[in-house]
Amino acid sequence: MTKTLLSGGTVVSMDPAVGDYERGDVLIEDGVITKVAGHIDAPDAEVIDARERIVLPGFVDNHRHNWQTAFRGIGADWTFGQWATAMHDTVKAHYTAEDVYAATLLGRLEALHSGVTTMLDWYHVAQGPEHEDAAIAALREAPARSIFCLGAGWATPRPVDDDIRRVRCALDDDGLLTMAFGLRGADDTGMDTLAREVQLADELGLRTSLHTGSDGTQRPIADMHKSGLLRDTTTFVHGNGLSDEELRMLADAGSSLSVSPDVELKMGFGAPMTGRALAAGLRPTLSIDVVPSVGGDMFAAMRAAFAAQRGLDGGLRARDLLAFATIDAATSCGLHDRTGSITPGKEADIILLRTDDVTIFPVTEPVGSLVSAGHPGLVDTVLVAGRVVKRNGALVGADLPALRTRLLASRDRIAAAAGVPLDGTWAPQP
Ligand SMILES: [Zn+2]
């Protein structure tokens, strides 16, 4: 049996039954958290010194399109229409399997580096089995908990029923890499196709994720409700503009909501739905969505969602944001029995955050400090299922220079093939 003791840290467990410790220990045995206490005697354990560290469950990002990593930061000024034109209508068709692999691996490692131990990779580059397998291989290679969410794509969708069945056979439900089904909305594909896809998910026992929203004229959730298509295994992404009645339908169905606050505010989706979701009885979760437009770390997502809601109505507390980004998002992925809090019996997906860093010191109130001033530079140590995958601020065993070279080559090749400039003058015309 392998034993690891996280010793003397400030434990923020995100489990009310466990509570927090100003100074406490966490014992991990064979990858599973077995004890959390003020002091634990474990003379035979490997000790990780957690003094001057906050010990927190790893973040869960339940919606990110990793395949766009090669174009990180290029569209900070873009509207949603420009992003869609650029990514889906212009560059996507030029992606090879190698491009998908490089973007997925570096995207997943960046998130892990920033403390995201669990990520749902919402795949909609949708070129065929070879590309899908490249994404799966990259997610397997990153020593993290990942969910490959296979979608039919967007703008130029292809039917993926056969692919869903094929990947379902290839991935089991117990490992670090599992799968989900990325559904197309009825506005994109029609209610008949959506119904068929939901039926396939039911048949295969797959959780699903679906982008949705309304400008006030559509009622996508009410339409799905009427057709009997709401499930407690579906995460609805964004949802900006949904009526309170529709939010209550989601709450009643046990569905979940993924808010991407930066993207929604910057790209014209409308106000994030955190406050209204809570009022309707629906726990929101947080996600990054697309890194061409926004940063990839959950600290920024928490801060944006917090500021947006406070600006609207003064709502939310710092601990709410931390819950959205950990336990609530784990629940939305169906992984709350495994991850999302520091709870005995769960797998040890834990991050250690520096409290001695000058950007956050002195830490008098850990939750408030993390939500208001946290950043990826604080992430000192990351464990996934008890395995140390980041130590002393560096990912273990990742050849980042080689991967950077690979991703640059990929970006340059795609851009050349698509005929788009990389000198800052690319202004997509929707
Ligand atoms: Zn998305």
Ligand 1 centre and the CA of 238: distance in Å?
A: 8
pLDDT of residue 96: 97
Output the pTM of the full model. Answer: 0.97
Ligand 1 centre and the CA of 369: distance in Å?
A: 29
CB 284 within 8 A of CB 317: no
Q: Tens digits of per-residue pLDDT, 36-52?
A: 999 999 999 999 999 99
Token reading at 96:
């090879």
Ligand 1 centre and the CA of 260: distance in Å?
A: 8
pLDDT of residue 100: 98
pLDDT of residue 156: 59
Kindly state the helix (H) or strand (E) to which residue 251 belongs, with its residue range.
Answer: helix 244-253
pLDDT of residue 174: 82
Ligand 1 centre and the CA of 384: distance in Å?
A: 25
| Res. 157: pLDDT tops 70 | no
Span 72-99, mean pLDDT? 96
Span 247-255, mean pLDDT? 98
pLDDT of residue 188: 83
Instruction: Please provide residue 118's backbone torsions phi and psi, each rounded to the nearest 5 degrees.
Output: -125, 130
Q: Where are the beta strands (DSSP E) in 38-94?
A: 46-49, 53-57, 59-64
Mean residue pLDDT of the chain comes to 96
| Res. 26: pLDDT tops 90 | yes
Find the range with the poorest average confidence among 30-34, 170-174, 250-254, 392-396: 170-174
Ligand 1 centre and the CA of 242: distance in Å?
A: 17
Percent of the chain with pLDDT over 90: 93
pLDDT of residue 149: 97
Q: Could you give the count of Cα atoms lying within 13 Å of 205 in the half-sphere of its Cβ?
A: 7
Q: How many CB atoms lie within 10 A of CB 322?
A: 25
Q: Tens digits of per-residue pLDDT, 130-145?
A: 999 999 999 999 999 9
Report the alpha-carbon distance of residue 123 to residue 93 in Å, rounded.
14
Strand partners, 129: none
Report the alpha-carbon distance of residue 130 to residue 128 in Å, rounded.
6
Ligand 1 centre and the CA of 64: distance in Å?
A: 6
Report the alpha-carbon distance of residue 35 to residue 315 in Å, rounded.
34
Ligand 1 centre and the CA of 363: distance in Å?
A: 34
Span 25-34, mean pLDDT? 98
pLDDT of residue 155: 61
Ligand 1 centre and the CA of 131: distance in Å?
A: 19
Q: Could you give the count of Cα atoms lying within 13 Å of 146 in the half-sphere of its Cβ?
A: 28
Place 127 in a pLDDT band, splitting at 50, 70 and 90: confident
CB 107 within 8 A of CB 100: no
Q: Tens digits of per-residue pLDDT, 223-243?
A: 999 999 999 999 999 999 999
Ligand 1 centre and the CA of 210: distance in Å?
A: 9
CA neighbor of 212 nearest in space, from 280, 269, 254: 269
Ligand 1 centre and the CA of 154: distance in Å?
A: 10
CA neighbor of 37 nearest in space, from 59, 16, 22, 57: 22
Ligand 1 centre and the CA of 27: distance in Å?
A: 37
Report the alpha-carbon distance of residue 332 to residue 256 in Å, rounded.
6
CB 114 within 8 A of CB 390: no
Q: DSSP secondary-structure letter at 192? A: H
Report the alpha-carbon distance of residue 174 to residue 75 in Å, rounded.
37
Token reading at 281:
């009885």
Q: Tens digits of per-residue pLDDT, 338-383?
A: 999 999 999 999 999 999 999 999 999 999 999 999 999 999 999 9
Percent of the chain with pLDDT over 70: 99
Strand partners, 151: 182
Place 173 in a pLDDT band, splitting at 50, 70 and 90: confident
Q: Where are the beta strands (DSSP E) in 132-223?
A: 145-151, 177-183, 208-212
pLDDT of residue 161: 86
CB 109 within 8 A of CB 72: no
Could you tell me the maximum CA-CA distance found in the chain, to the nearest angstrom?
64
Ligand 1 centre and the CA of 156: distance in Å?
A: 15
Ligand 1 centre and the CA of 23: distance in Å?
A: 39
Ligand 1 centre and the CA of 361: distance in Å?
A: 35
| Res. 182: pLDDT tops 80 | yes
139 three-state secondary structure: helix
pLDDT of residue 186: 86
Ligand 1 centre and the CA of 264: distance in Å?
A: 10
Ligand 1 centre and the CA of 65: distance in Å?
A: 6
Query: 1 to each of 37, 45, 361, 389, 425, how far by Cα in Å?
Result: 21, 10, 37, 19, 57
Place 425 in a pLDDT band, splitting at 50, 70 and 90: very high
pLDDT of residue 164: 93
pLDDT of residue 408: 98
Ligand 1 centre and the CA of 288: distance in Å?
A: 8
